[in-house]
Structure formats: structure tokens, C-alpha cells
Amino acid sequence: MNVTIVDYQSGNISSVINSFTEVAKDKINLEVTSDINKIKSCDKIVLPGQGSFKSCVESLNSISGLVDTLKEFAITNKKPLLGICVGLQMFADIGYEEAETQGLGWISGKVSKIDNQKGKFKLPHIGWNEIEIQKESKIFKDIKNKSHMYFVHSYEFIPEDKSVISAITNYSSKIVCAVERDNLFGTQFHPEKSDKVGLNVIDNFLKL
């Protein structure tokens, strides 16, 4: 099996690469690339994202043909794709970080700043938080409800269709921290920084 981590210069993704390499061991061919042809021919895609919604979208768009290739892969051909952090947020129609920016439009919704209740909650939301699993999810197989995951974000994805939400976390409000729809998976938390339970999420995705 060939799994591609899309490297589109969206910040430091070394921890994503290291954790996927650790889980994949020698069983899975893991490639880190933005090469369109390699992405087209792989079996699964990991779309990481660090930094702002706007900067990540611009970085994706700066590579000719990449957005169309990802859409064909995930939406037309329905192959498994996992978005991490801003990688998940970009599934949305629109984001409001820095400036109003069009997302990929794969799952209808918006990305808005977390309501910190007039400074009661610190932003960015950094650290370990409990997740509440909302529905049976392929990437949460054998993962206990109320497990702790690692977060770093100031913005949240608010999908229009609540049935896509696979997990939430409580931080000022109930924040969507994972989505699943058919072959599309996304986590707001960082599985690559979430210790053994995070590696289990990665393993579940690779075993799909």
C-alpha cells in the first residue's frame, strides 16, 4: 500500500512524518511529496496543516494542479484522506482566519475563531483535552471514549451537517475535534503528538 503525506510547505510536519513512519514500519510504503503524479497513484493521503487557514490554502493553491488532484482523489474517486489540524479545517467552504478565505468545499461549513468568552479561555487552545466520541468511527476503533488528545488551535470547524461529527472536545464550548464522512476523515487534534492513543488513530487510518 502506498500512503502519501502531502508536503505543500505548510510549516513543520516532521512530527507527522516521524509518527506515520513509526506506525507504518516496513509494511506500508510512505512517501512525503507534492508531486501530482505520485499523489494520483497512491492509495491514501494525509493532509497536514500548520499555521493559519489562509496561509495553508494559499500554499495548496501555489502548487499547480494540487487542489484539483486532491479533489479527484477524495471526492470523485472516494479514496481515504485524513486531514490533520488545518488539514481538516480546509475541508470547509470558508475560513475567517486573517482574512475571509475560500476552503476546499468538501464538507459544507465554516472555520471561525473559538469564542473564548471574553478572555476566560486562553487562545490558542494548547495542550491535552478529553474527546467525546459521537458516533462509531473507523479511526477511533478500539479507542476509549474520553481519551486525551493534544491540541494547538484558535479556530474551529463548524460543519453544517452535524452527522459528520465523530468527536467533540469541551473548551469554552463543544468544539468539533474529528469528522468522518465516507472516505473523508479529519482531526482537529494532533494524533502525531497524542502519545500512544494518537498512534492508534494513525494505525486505524493506515489499516482502513
Query: pLDDT digits over 19-78, tens only?
Result: 999 999 888 999 999 999 999 999 999 999 999 999 999 999 999 999 999 999 999 999
Q: Does residue 119 surpass a pLDDT of 90?
A: no
pLDDT of 141-155, one tens digit each? 999 999 999 999 999
User: What is the model's pLDDT at position 10?
Assistant: 83
Residue 192 annotated among the catalytic residues of the structure: yes
Task: Give CA torsion, residues 78, 81, 207, 146, to 10 deg.
Answer: -120
Residues 156, 177, 180, 190: which is the catalytic one?
Answer: 190
- Whole-number Å distance between alpha carbons of 37 and 39: 5
Task: State the cell numbers at 104.
Answer: 476546499
Catalytic residue among 85, 97, 125, 180: 85
Query: Is residue 148 among the annotated active site residues?
Result: no
- Greatest Cα-to-Cα distance within the chain, rounded to the nearest angstrom: 49
- Which of 160, 143, 159, 156 minimizes the C-alpha distance to 189? 156
Q: How confident is the model at residue 191 (pLDDT cuts 50, 70, 90)?
A: very high
pLDDT tens, 74-90?
Answer: 999 999 999 999 999 99
Confidence of residue 12 (pLDDT cuts 50, 70, 90): confident
Positions of E strands within 39-122: 44-47, 81-84, 94-95, 101-102, 109-113
Of the candidate CATH numbers 3.90.1150.10, 1.25.10.10, 3.40.50.880, 3.40.50.300, the domain formed by 2-207 belongs to 3.40.50.880
Which pLDDT tens digit goes with each residue over 167-187?
A: 999 998 999 999 999 999 999
pTM of the model as a whole: 0.97
Q: What does the block give as the cell for 81?
A: 484522506
Query: How does residue 194 score in pLDDT terms, banded at 50, 70 and 90?
Result: very high
Residue 203 has pLDDT above 90, yes or no: yes
What pLDDT does 142 receive? 97
